[in-house]
Amino acid sequence: MNMTRRAIILRQRPVGPPRPEDFELITETLPPLKEGQVLTRTIWLSLDPYMRGRLSDAKSYAAPVPIGGVITGETVGEVIASEDANFAPGDVVVGPNGWADYIVSEARNLVKLDRHGPPLSTYLGVLGMPGTTAYSGMTDIGQPKPGETVVISAAAGAVGSVAGQIAKRAGARVVGIAGGAEKCLYVQETLGFDDCIDHRVVDLRSALEQACPNGIDVYFENVGGDVQAAVFPMLNPFARMVMCGMVAEYNDTKPRPGPNLMPVVRKRLRIQGLIVTDKPERFAEWRALAKPWVMDGSLRYREDVVDGLENAPQALIGLLSGRNFGKLLVRVGPDPA
Amino acid sequence: MNMTRRAIILRQRPVGPPRPEDFELITETLPPLKEGQVLTRTIWLSLDPYMRGRLSDAKSYAAPVPIGGVITGETVGEVIASEDANFAPGDVVVGPNGWADYIVSEARNLVKLDRHGPPLSTYLGVLGMPGTTAYSGMTDIGQPKPGETVVISAAAGAVGSVAGQIAKRAGARVVGIAGGAEKCLYVQETLGFDDCIDHRVVDLRSALEQACPNGIDVYFENVGGDVQAAVFPMLNPFARMVMCGMVAEYNDTKPRPGPNLMPVVRKRLRIQGLIVTDKPERFAEWRALAKPWVMDGSLRYREDVVDGLENAPQALIGLLSGRNFGKLLVRVGPDPA
């Protein structure tokens, strides 16, 4: 079978904030399926801050997208054709498939989804990579204890919203940091955080002192920049800093200075990074744990949906400046019949 | 019993490097012993970089020495009189007793030493607080594996020399950083490190690249400053940074910027501080483990001895600028008869 597809490729490496002309929508012919491969039609494409790293050729934990290559991204799709015994047309799968409307994948990279459980989009958000990142960060590094104070930046985002709800379930006092009054209201009222600070307020440090009268025991770091600078001096002895991302700095062309590390000694801080794929077993663990919570409505999430593959570049550009509100998804095609 | 003693007190808080006039040698009368107290005659006084922190009133893990107070410090001493059933005159003890030639201590703070084992001074160095710090840092945070590359700053010092030898025993490639050719020779030839870099060389980064062709998996941080800045970019994925001290910055009047923390995410670094007293059980553990190694000569150490309590301030000033060579000790009085 030979068919054409639409895909978005990297035209040139962005310097600073990505611009639409760094991307290109192309039409190309897909090769026939080989043994062990599966053809899927994309339903949902996930957009996540880590993608900014893939557009750069700076050394990182994963290879960059090559110039002319399809941009990396997780998708949920419907199987159209299969040369693998484990998948059949009509199956719905999630996998690391890229920005395209039809995709040829190796079957071993796909996970089959339950069509009658939570909405399929949740497997890219609250039940997918971002949710698992929050779970892994809190389980392996943050380890909040009852009564401790946990601060979460980008608290309304796909990772932060889950990280905070996990910390609440652990009995901690949870304070979010988000951009703007609307997001803060959502973080407090819907997600159930104890407090939320708008990082656009004039004096973030004073606001943090008011919201965290007993200092900070766990900081789940998603943004870096001025927020990190305000949080760092407030960390308590033995505090843990879960280093998940620093989206406020992803478009920087040279790195900003960081905090002087002497408090790490004095306060015995633990600052540790994670990439969710390091512990692949966490994905299934988290899906099993959180699926009932999504079904019964006790684990809250919000999605920000953009329609049409062609709008993915502009949506990613917005994500990197905090314009999304909730898990950012592109609806590439309709749900299965 | 009423007797006089000599002690060194803090006259004023140093700003920047301490100066001799910040200290004062006084003579004072000791109060009579109360129930549970022990009077000791000081034989050895330990001088350690952490003492700089006690001279400041900046918030830290331990209260500062008050103006007019005796400076903090571990000592080995001989019991002269005792109002506690566990100690008798002639016993030799180690404890956190301060810069003085006679000391009244609470018995519960003292540990009785074996007079017929290793030299008494070693209980302040290789078998004491600095050795235990190295052991605790390597055991709880560094965790070097066979074949990994471990870099130790202040490698000729009391902590670094032990940290490196522990890493060698764990099968790692161990590279020291020290100040000057003589110290580097000692680190390689006597301590048995695989390599040692003189941080006074023009291009520390190139020297590190040459000495660590496979990058750095564990960095045992004792100095901070330019050495930290050169090491940080060379940390491998999943590297551990044992934050023990930053002596090159202790005299700074304002903190220098630190490294941008984005590599902590990308490389999943773990940066963690320790204060040896957090895990008091490590002291006895390390003494039991290392005593045979000190006795059989397989664990090497070097002492830098200054005679006379009155010379302690000048010796501490020198320690903070790296003028000592080996564990710095003040001989306050003769060994027991």
Residues in chain A closer than 8 A to B60 (CB atoms): 266
Q: How are beta strands A102-106 and A111-112 bridged, if at all?
A: unpaired
- For residue B40, the distance in angstroms to the closest alpha carbon of chain A comes to 31
How many C-beta neighbours within 10 Å does residue A80 have? 17
Report the residue from B266, B268, B271 with minimal CB separation from A264: B271
Helix intervals (H) in chain A:
51-54, 129-137, 158-169, 181-185, 204-211, 225-231, 262-266, 281-295, 312-319
Position of tokens 């001025």? A226
Segment B137-149, tens digit of pLDDT: 999 999 999 999 9
Per-residue pLDDT 10s for chain A (337 aa) are 568 999 999 999 999 999 999 999 999 999 999 999 999 999 999 999 999 999 998 888 888 999 999 999 999 999 999 999 999 999 999 998 899 999 999 999 999 999 889 999 999 999 999 999 999 999 999 999 999 999 999 999 999 999 999 999 999 999 999 999 999 999 999 999 999 999 998 799 999 999 999 999 999 999 999 999 999 999 999 999 999 999 999 999 999 999 999 999 999 999 999 999 999 999 999 999 999 999 999 999 999 999 999 999 999 999 998 889 999 999 999 999 8
- For residue A172, the distance in angstroms to the closest alpha carbon of chain B comes to 22
DSSP per position, B159-173? HHHHHHHHHHHTT-E
Instruction: Return the sign of the alpha-carbon dihedral for residues B276, B279, B281, B285.
Output: negative
Give, in order, the Cα–Cα distances in Å from B317 to each of A15, A74, B47, B237, B314: 49, 58, 10, 38, 5
- For residue B218, the distance in angstroms to the closest alpha carbon of chain A comes to 14
Q: Which residues pair with A303 in a beta bridge?
A: A327
The answer to whether A93 and A76 are in contact (CB under 8 A) is yes
Is A49 strand, coil or helix?
coil
Tokens representing residue B275 in the block: 């204060």
How many C-beta neighbours within 10 Å does residue A94 have? 26
How many C-beta neighbours within 10 Å does residue B130 have? 28
**A272 to B270: CB separation less than 8 angstroms, yes or no:** yes
Q: Which residues of A touch B (CB under 8 A)?
A: 53, 60-61, 221, 224, 228, 237, 243-246, 249, 255-275, 278
**A261 to B224: CB separation less than 8 angstroms, yes or no:** yes
Closest by Cα among A227, A104, A87 to A157? A227
Report the residue from A221, A257, A264 with minimal CB separation from B260: A257
For chain B, what are the domain ranges?
3-125+301-331, 129-277
- For residue B149, the distance in angstroms to the closest alpha carbon of chain A comes to 20
Which of A140, A141, A254, A261 has the highest number of chain B CBs within 10 A, making it the mutation to test binding with B?
Answer: A261
DSSP B13: -
Segment B219-241, tens digit of pLDDT: 999 999 999 999 999 999 999 99
Q: Which residues pair with B37 in a beta bridge?
A: B106
**A264 to B273: CB separation less than 8 angstroms, yes or no:** yes
Report the residue from A60, A256, A262 with minimal CB separation from B260: A256
Q: Which residues of B touch A (CB under 8 A)?
A: 53, 60-61, 221, 224, 228, 237, 243-246, 249, 255-275, 278
DSSP per position, B16-60? SS--GGGEEEEEEEEPPPPTTEEEEEEEEEE--TTHHHHTS-S--
**B245 to A265: CB separation less than 8 angstroms, yes or no:** yes
- What is the SS3 assignment for B295-321? HCCCCCCCEEEEECHHHHHHHHHHHCC
Closest by Cα among A273, A288, A258, A232 to A142? A273
**B262 to A246: CB separation less than 8 angstroms, yes or no:** yes
Question: Regarding the domain delimited by A129-277, which CATH topology (the fold level of the hierarchy) does it fall under?
Answer: Rossmann fold (3.40.50)
Report the residue from B237, B259, B275 with minimal CB separation from A268: B275
- Which CATH class name applies to B3-125+301-331? alpha beta
Whether B202 has a pLDDT exceeding 90, the answer reads: no
At A299, the amino acid letter reads: L
- For residue A268, the distance in angstroms to the closest alpha carbon of chain B comes to 4
- For residue A244, the distance in angstroms to the closest alpha carbon of chain B comes to 6
Residues in chain A closer than 8 A to B267 (CB atoms): 61, 273
Residues in chain B closer than 8 A to A60 (CB atoms): 266
Sheet holding B235-243, edge to edge: A195-198, A173-178, A149-153, A216-221, A235-243, A270-273, B270-273, B235-243, B216-221, B149-153, B173-178, B195-198
The answer to whether A274 and A141 are in contact (CB under 8 A) is yes
- For residue A46, the distance in angstroms to the closest alpha carbon of chain B comes to 20
Segment B79-129, tens digit of pLDDT: 999 999 999 999 999 998 899 999 999 999 999 999 889 999 999 999 999
pLDDT > 70 fraction of chain B, expressed in percent and rounded: 99
pLDDT band (50, 70, 90) for residue B337: confident
**A270 to B272: CB separation less than 8 angstroms, yes or no:** yes
Distance, first Cα to last Cα, chain B: 22
ipTM: 0.93
The answer to whether B172 and B146 are in contact (CB under 8 A) is yes
Whether B281 has a pLDDT exceeding 70, the answer reads: yes
Closest by Cα among B48, B22, B124 to B324? B48
How far apart CA B142 and CA B105 sit, in angstroms, is: 35
Give, to the nearest 10 degrees, the angle between helix A129-137 and helix A281-295: 110
